[in-house]
Structures are given as structure tokens and as C-alpha cells.
Structure 1
Amino acid sequence: MSSKIDILSQEFKDLNQVALNERENYKNASPYPHIVFKNIFNHNFLNDVLSQFPNLQSIQDSEKYTNQNEVKLSYNKYENFPYNIKLLFDFLNSKTFLLFLQNITGIKEKLLSDPYLEGGGLHEIKKGGVLKVHTDFNRHPFFNLDRRINVLIYLNKEWEKSYGGDLELWDKKMERCIKKIAPIFNKMVIFSTTDFSNHGHPDPLACPNNISRKSLALYYFSFGRPKEEIINKNMKNMTLFKSRVGFSNDANENKEYIKNYLRSLKVYQFFKKFEKKYIRSKK
């Protein structure tokens, strides 16, 4: 496997120092802890990653979302990734990168990568595509682990502002977009995953038909988390889409009031734990 200096740019080869320099910026960012790095990867290496990025529409078993909240493509079959894309995912799941995330985020619980890339992997959005503002599922679907960190890497060259597709970070009340991050080539975004980290790109992509918004997504977990990071541990472990205040016909919100009440019952929790431990983990 290539050494990290082949993957990282010279400016970022000492990740320990980068974490030390940027930890306070991460913690104090608004509307929730996050940071954006530009040109963190070796330019030639990331060019190779981009050149090997497949057309996800043409892959038979890619995930194809076509609903009011999501019009996008994703693919997480690591074993089928091209060589350089595998190298990058190997690095991002390595002890070196995990320690960097641990140090820059200040998370006390030990961070773990997800070799299954649940919800992650390769993401692609074509013209007209959308990802409404949401908070992510907060637990691993198979293991007793809490989702703590999102890492997004963008691969889009010559991306024009008129195309849209900015990653938008919204406040807790969904009243204001606090920050917009253009999805341009060699930009990496790290942010804390809680029930309050509202994000997405809620307006349809306006790029030409021959251009798409390409990104890599990785999620990191821990055993246990601060209780104030989630609203209700008994709510269904799912992505929660949210409408922006002042926008009509925005996200399709699924409140599930009755189901959430049932999930608060101990008998329901017992059977869900049994199902997760003995049935779902064996699939």
C-alpha cells in the first residue's frame, strides 16, 4: 500500500500537527463542530481517484434513490472499488486517520471505522438531484455503536457556482442556513454527527447533463456517546429529513409519533435488541 505521503499533500503530511492546530477551530465552529480542508490530498493521487470513479447509474447494484427527499446514487461495495479508490478508503479507515479524527474532534470515546461503509462509499448526484436537509441515523445498523463523525470528500473540478450543490449547514430550528460549502475538487469536510447536525443540499442540482456531483463518504463510530447529543435513544434509527422554515413543499417529514411511543416501551426495546443481535447481524 502506498505510504500516506503519496496520498496526502505536503502541507498535511503531519496530521498530528494539523489536528493540534485546528482542534479549537473545529470545536467552536457554527452551527455545530466541523471543519473544511482544501487541497489535503496529493493532487496527482486524487486525479487518479477521480479518473477511476465509475458512473454509478450504470452499476446494476448501486443504490438509486428517487423520492422527494433524495434523488441520488450511492455504491458501497468496497471489494469492487477501483485500485486507487480502495487505497484512499484504506487510508481513511486506518489507525493514522482515526487518531487524527480523535485528536481534532476531541471525542473521548475511541473512534472506530466502518468496514461495511453503511450509508457511505461513493456518492453521485446528477442534474436535478437533491438531498434535503436532514440529520443522519445515529447508530450503526448492525452493531451496538454510536455514529459520531461524517467525513465527506469532493471530487468536482471546474464546478461553477450556478450548478448549486453546496453542502448547507443549518441551525437547530431550521430557520437559517449558517454555512454553505462548495463541493469542489480536493475539499474534505469533517463534522460531528448528532441529532442536531442539520445538513444537505436541498435545492435541485443545476449542472449540465454530462456533469455530476461526485463525493466519497465515510462515517465513524464509538461505543457510547454524550447523552445530550441525541433527542431520544428510543426513536427509530433513521435519517430524519426536515423542512426549512419558510419553504413550502420542502422535505417529506415522517414524524412517527405513535411508533416512537411504542419504541419507548421496554418490551419493544427487548425484542429490537434481540433482533439486532441474533438476526440482523447474521445477514
Structure 2
Amino acid sequence: MMPATVVGLDAMNARLPELRERYRSAQPFPHIVLDDVLVPDAFARAAAEFPSIRDPFWKGYLHVNETKYANTQPDTWGPTLTAAAKEFVSDEFVAFLESLTGIDDLLPDWSMDGGGLHQTLRGGHLNIHADFTTHHVKESWSRRVNILLYLNESWAEEWGGQLELWDREMTAPQAKVRPAGNRMLIFTTSADSFHGHPDALTCPEDVARRSMALYYFTEGLSPVRKATNYRARPQESVTRRVAIAADRGVLALYDRAKRRLGVSDEHVSAALERVNRFRRKK
């Protein structure tokens, strides 16, 4: 039988004054790392339920700036993963986030726009970026807070995959978060909350970097709409910088098409998968 709660929210609420101060003073932008977010038995079940690497519901986002897969359909998830996601969109958890971040009237998003379950395989990466700023369907919704719950049963440091948090000038990472199991990163999303894991993973072929992501929004009359802003690191070659910028431009066009024409992620994912298979054969 599923327990009444799978998220250890009571323990987090008991530490709210301390957590709030740590969150708001963190650099390079407001964030906090919390361990043991799910109760132990629930984490073990959630990790066991995580879809296999070849599960048919994965959609690939495979291009210059990222190589990852997403499942945005909670009805295909196991019961513990679904229960955890439901608690993360509950009034109680949203109230915790509002108190932690100082952002009122947060709106959770069960449609998983940009969120859901994510996996990145050996050789995969996610270039440094600031997230797109508004919901693709509810365009009056501005993206304000991101939570990432890591669901790896084990993760060796030498495999890479640390999430790097960069300053707004893109001079250097100011913090790094290892994707340890049952660890959550919460951060304020803005036009310059640059983050990513840009170096190729070196985990074994049968291991994936696994997480659940959810976003929280506020509603406004005229939100500023920007596509995902990928950035080059200072050490990138000229060729690499050109590729990152060109890919960013193509994705910005896709972002506009998705909003205005209703272009499907599924169609784009299938096309990118075919291109990626061709590229890997070369």
C-alpha cells in the first residue's frame, strides 16, 4: 500500500527559516540543494520504477546544445513516481516553495512543459543555458522556479554530470551539484540563471543520468517571452561557439513555431532522432 506521503515535507518545513536564508543568499543566483527529499522507502521504489533506457515513451532532444530524453506523460509512470509528482504540485508543497523563494502565487504545471522525467546517456550533455521564460500554452505564465529531483540509484563522481551554475557574465561556474540519488536542486529561473552539464557523460552504456523536473510559474499581463538561451563557455573554440549560436537560433525559430503553429514535440523529436542516428553512424 502506498504511504500517505512520499515527500518528506514536514522535515523541510521544520527547517524553513534556515533554508530560506541559504536559498536567498546563494550564488550565482538563488538556489538550494536538499538531500533525502523522498522518504527512504519511497525513493527506493521511485528509482526502481524509473523507465528503462529503451522505454518507448522517451522523446529525444538530440542536437548541438543537448542530447537528452524526456517523458512528459505521468500516466505512463510508476505509482511512486506519479505520487511524488502529485505531491510536488500540491498546495502544501507550493506553499513551501513560496516561503522558501519569496515568490508569491506560484502556479504548478501538471502539463510538464519543459519538465517530466529526464535521462541522459553516456556521451550526452546539456550546454550552459537559461531556460525559456514563458509557458508554451499558457502564455501569460512566466517561469519562476525549477525543481530537479535526481533519481540515480548510484552515481560515480568520475562519470561527470555535475550541474554547473554559472554567473551572468559567463566567466566561470560558481557552484556544482552532483546528481546524487534523492537530492533536489531548487532554483529561481530568470534570464540569466545559467546552468547545465556541458561535458559528455562517461557513465557505462547501461546507466543513465536520471531526474524529475517540474517548473512553477506566476501569471502576468505581459510576460517577456524568450527561448532557451544557450551560451558558450570561455574555453570553447570558435567553431564550437558558432555551432552553439547557430543551434540556438534554430531552436528559437522552433520555439516560435511551437507557440504559434502548435508544432508537436513528438514530430521534432522523431526528426532529431533520425538525424542523430545518421550522425552517429558517420
Determine if the TM-score, normalized by the shorter chain, exceeds 0.5.
Answer: yes
* Aligned twin of 1:220: 216
Unaligned runs of 5+ in 1: 261-271
Aligned length: 250
Unaligned runs of 5+ in 2: 263-282
Which of 210, 230, 239 is equivalent to 2:228?
Answer: 239
**C-alpha distance in structure 2 between counterparts of 1:238 and 1:33, whole Å:** 21
Deviation at 1:78, TM superposition (A): 1.4
Amino acid paired to 2:106:
L
**C-alpha distance in structure 1 between counterparts of 2:153 and 2:74, whole Å:** 24
The answer to whether the Cα contact below 8 Å between 2:47 and 2:153 also exists between their aligned partners in 1 is no
- Say whether residues 1:73 and 2:69 are aligned partners: yes
- Helix, strand or coil at the partner of 2:37: coil
- Helix, strand or coil at the partner of 1:194: coil
Matches within 5 A, 1:1-283: 2-4=3-5, 7-9=6-8, 12-59=9-56, 61-108=57-104, 110-143=105-138, 144-224=140-220, 233=224, 237-248=226-237, 249=240, 252-254=244-246
The answer to whether the Cα contact below 8 Å between 1:130 and 1:203 also exists between their aligned partners in 2 is yes
Deviation at 1:56, TM superposition (A): 4.7
Deviates more, 1:127-136 or 1:62-71: 62-71
Amino acid paired to 1:8:
V
Deviation per CA, 1:160-208, whole angstroms, max 9, x where unpaired?
Answer: 1110000000011111010110001010000000001000000000011
TM-score, normalising length from structure 2?
Answer: 0.82
Amino acid paired to 1:119:
G
- Helix, strand or coil at the partner of 2:244: coil
The answer to whether the Cα contact below 8 Å between 2:65 and 2:127 also exists between their aligned partners in 1 is yes
**C-alpha distance in structure 2 between counterparts of 1:3 and 1:237, whole Å:** 40
- Helix, strand or coil at the partner of 2:103: coil
Deviation at 1:130, TM superposition (A): 0.4
TM-score, normalising length from structure 1?
Answer: 0.82
Amino acid paired to 1:241:
Y
- Helix, strand or coil at the partner of 2:48: helix
The answer to whether the Cα contact below 8 Å between 1:169 and 1:177 also exists between their aligned partners in 2 is yes
- Helix, strand or coil at the partner of 1:252: helix
**C-alpha distance in structure 2 between counterparts of 1:172 and 1:32, whole Å:** 9
The answer to whether the Cα contact below 8 Å between 2:53 and 2:206 also exists between their aligned partners in 1 is no
* Aligned twin of 1:267: none
**C-alpha distance in structure 2 between counterparts of 1:196 and 1:2, whole Å:** 39
- Helix, strand or coil at the partner of 2:54: helix
The answer to whether the Cα contact below 8 Å between 1:20 and 1:103 also exists between their aligned partners in 2 is no
